């Protein structure tokens, strides 16, 4: 097994810290808010309000669920169009009240189902990139497991993208990539290596800002995440909205 594939396995592990754990530990006063106001409430996306160092923030996270039933309801953490629209609604609300947005991502990608197609999965992601990505408040994304393709980018289009040690961010799953490029999905390990999906490689390509060390102890990991988020928020808070947007635009313009 290649080193990259080992990280893929760890990113997908059942022992991985969850979005709910991160929220509970970092934002003990979190109040969940539901719905996209367009007819759906995707359980694969959790969103709501909380405070961080006595300042209000909007928190959004993907959720894979725990029990088998929960996992099925959440499409194993793959958001539907309604999930992206819910995240955009909450993000716009955050911008209205000048709240920073903290997003936690662990998703294999946007849900590829018939209903998702009919409800405009492509259009929903596109609106996130266009609108969420241009909101004039600090947006920090932490990828803590898998960051799969456009479905992850729709929640990682802000000022900072940080990753836990054992997480990945890629254009497609290594299995999908191997199936397309080598016509053999069993060559996933080889694909994972060439795709540059590990935090280390992504930092080299300047796709992410920072790697957050991960511990087997979930509380410890959450504490580290909290420290890093606070530090990054402090840097971003020093910028005017115009400076923030100009820097964010430059962040993506370089690619």
Q: Please give the residue ranges that form the binding site for another protein (CB under 8 A).
A: 110-114, 116-123, 125-127, 129-131, 133-134, 149-150, 153-154, 157, 169-172, 176-177, 180-181, 194-197, 202, 205, 207, 248-249, 252-253, 255
Rg (CA), the chain: 17
Measured in whole angstroms, the distance separating CA 135 from the mean position of its chain's CA atoms is 17
| CB nearer to another protein: pick between 47 and 133 | 133
| Torsional sign, CA 112, 196, 84, 71 | positive
Q: Do 152 and 169 meet the contact criterion of CB atoms below 8 Å apart?
A: yes
Residue with tokens 């199936």: 179
| CB nearer to another protein: pick between 33 and 129 | 129
Backbone torsion region of residue 86, taken as left when φ is above 0, otherwise alpha when ψ lies between -120 and 50, otherwise beta: alpha
Q: For residues 140 and 232, what is the distance between their CA atoms, to the nearest angstrom?
A: 8
Q: For residues 110 and 119, what is the distance between their CA atoms, to the nearest angstrom?
A: 13
| Torsional sign, CA 236, 238, 241, 244 | negative
Rounded least distance, CB 133 to another protein, Å: 6
DSSP class of residue 183 equals S
Rounded least distance, CB 89 to another protein, Å: 18
Residue with tokens 């808010």: 33
Rounded least distance, CB 113 to another protein, Å: 6
| CB nearer to another protein: pick between 26 and 202 | 202
Rounded least distance, CB 31 to another protein, Å: 30
Rounded least distance, CB 209 to another protein, Å: 14
Rounded least distance, CB 84 to another protein, Å: 10
| CB nearer to another protein: pick between 130 and 237 | 130
How far apart, in Å, do the first and last CA atoms of the chain sit?
Answer: 30
Rounded least distance, CB 9 to another protein, Å: 19
| CB nearer to another protein: pick between 32 and 117 | 117
Q: How many CB atoms lie within 10 A of CB 242?
A: 9
Q: For residues 239 and 66, what is the distance between their CA atoms, to the nearest angstrom?
A: 39
Residue with tokens 């910028």: 239
| CB nearer to another protein: pick between 100 and 147 | 147
| CB nearer to another protein: pick between 208 and 222 | 208
């Amino acid at each position: 097994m290649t080193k990259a594939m080992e990280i893929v396995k760890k990113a997908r592990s059942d022992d991985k810290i969850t979005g709910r754990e991160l929220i509970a530990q970092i934002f003990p006063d979190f109040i969940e808010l539901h719905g996209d106001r367009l007819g759906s409430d995707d359980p694969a996306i959790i969103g709501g309000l909380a405070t961080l160092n006595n300042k209000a923030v909007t928190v959004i996270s993907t959720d894979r669920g725990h029990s088998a039933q929960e996992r099925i309801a959440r499409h194993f953490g793959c958001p539907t169009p309604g999930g992206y629209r819910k995240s955009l609604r909450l993000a716009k609300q955050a911008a209205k009240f000048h709240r920073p947005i903290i997003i936690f991502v662990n998703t294999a990608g946007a849900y590829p189902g018939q209903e998702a197609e009919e409800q405009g999965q492509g259009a929903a992601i596109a609106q996130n990139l266009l609108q969420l990505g241009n909101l004039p408040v600090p947006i920090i994304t932490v990828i803590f497991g898998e960051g799969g393709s456009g479905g992850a980018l729709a929640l990682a289009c802000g000022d900072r993208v940080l990753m836990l040690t054992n997480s990945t961010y890629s254009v497609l799953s290594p299995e999908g990539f191997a199936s397309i490029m080598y016509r053999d999905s069993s060559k996933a390990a080889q694909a994972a290596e060439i795709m540059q999906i590990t935090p280390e490689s992504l930092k080299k390509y300047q796709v992410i800002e920072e790697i957050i060390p991960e511990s087997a102890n979930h509380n410890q990991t959450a504490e580290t995440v909290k420290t890093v988020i606070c530090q990054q928020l402090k840097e971003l808070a020093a910028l005017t909205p115009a400076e923030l947007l100009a820097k964010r635009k430059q962040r993506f313009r370089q690619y």
